[in-house]
Amino acid sequence: MQDNPKSPEPKSITPNPDDPKFLTSNSLTPNPPDPKPPDPKPHCPPDPKPCCPPRPLWMEFPDDPQTFAMDDQYLIDRVLLVHPVTELGARGVNVYLPGEGEVWYNDETHEQHRAPQTLYVPVTLSSIPVFQRGGTVISRQDRPRRSTEAMRGDPFTLYVALSPQGTAEGDLYLDDGVSFDYATKNAFLHRHFSFSNGTLTSRYPKYPQSSPEYPKVFQKSHLRAPGYPDCQVLKNPLKIP
């Protein structure tokens, strides 16, 4: 049996720029421009207490062993403790309030509870256990609306939850929610609230701000304080200068 003859060596073909069959993009553009560098990523304005996504309790209370295995309740920005109701037909849940020497306020009943302790909280189909941490201030738009877009011009209500030392602080940040104007035009609103010595104050942080279209008046200020069974309404609603 004769061996097969060797296959001929492949011929190298050099494209001819004048031949349409070998016309390439490089032939059409002898000196292609350099690719455009990516636009720099806009940065959010620095926030001393950035809003964090829901996270487990052990991240905020790493010295409390009871929080290590908990997966049925979480924190929102160190301020709100939430315990979802996941069991069918449940009429109540056990809520653990962490933090040695801290105080928590039931967001619905305004009752205060010293920590650490476990509470049995009755629930209905329309309620979820939520507790505000003492020493914090949160801003809420409480008017019922069909969409968040319809709430843009609504005033805010401040909920001031005092610590055992009688102080509280919190932040409010707003932008248009759809553009990068907060980074390119400083089009955002950021206010810092603090309560001490019986006085609620508001100030701008040090970095720039501008917010002509945002609501200027805080309709109410509610005070949650140790020793008071209900939420007290502060006089003289806070105004933004």
Is residue 109 located within the same domain as residue 149?
no
Report, in angstroms and rounded to the nearest whole number, the Rg of the chain calculated over CA atoms. 30
DSSP class per residue in the chain: -PPPPPPPPPPP-PPPTT-GGG--HHHH-SSPPPPPPPPPPP-PPP-SS-----B-HHHH-TT-GGGTT--S-EEETTTEEE----STT--EEEEEE-STT-EEEETTT--EEESSEEEEEE--TT---EEEETTEEEEE--S--SSSGGGTTPPEEEEEE--TTS-EEEEEEE--SSSSHHHHS--BEEEEEEEETTEEEEE--SS--B-TTS--BEEEEEEE-TT-SSPEEPSS--B--
Give percent of the chain above pLDDT 90: 28
Would residue 195 count as lying in a domain? yes
Last residue of a domain, which of 108, 133, 158? 133
Would residue 17 count as lying in a domain? no
Would residue 95 count as lying in a domain? yes
Last residue of a domain, which of 77, 103, 133? 133
pLDDT in tens, the chain (241 residues): 555 555 556 555 565 556 555 444 444 444 444 444 444 333 344 444 445 678 899 999 999 999 999 999 999 988 999 999 988 889 999 999 999 999 999 998 888 999 899 999 999 988 899 999 999 999 888 888 888 888 877 888 888 999 999 899 998 888 888 888 888 887 787 888 888 888 888 887 666 555 545 555 566 666 666 655 555 555 554 544 4
Is residue 238 located within the same domain as residue 202?
yes
Would residue 193 count as lying in a domain? yes
Q: What is the CATH number of the domain that holds 74?
A: 2.60.40.1180
Is residue 121 located within the same domain as residue 64?
yes
Domain span at 122: 46-133
Is residue 139 located within the same domain as residue 241?
yes
Would residue 7 count as lying in a domain? no
Is residue 116 located within the same domain as residue 65?
yes
**pTM of the prediction?**
0.69
Domain count, the chain: 2
What confidence tens digit (pLDDT) does each residue in 13-72 have?
565 556 555 444 444 444 444 444 444 333 344 444 445 678 899 999 999 999 999 999
Would residue 180 count as lying in a domain? yes
What was the pLDDT predicted at 207?
60
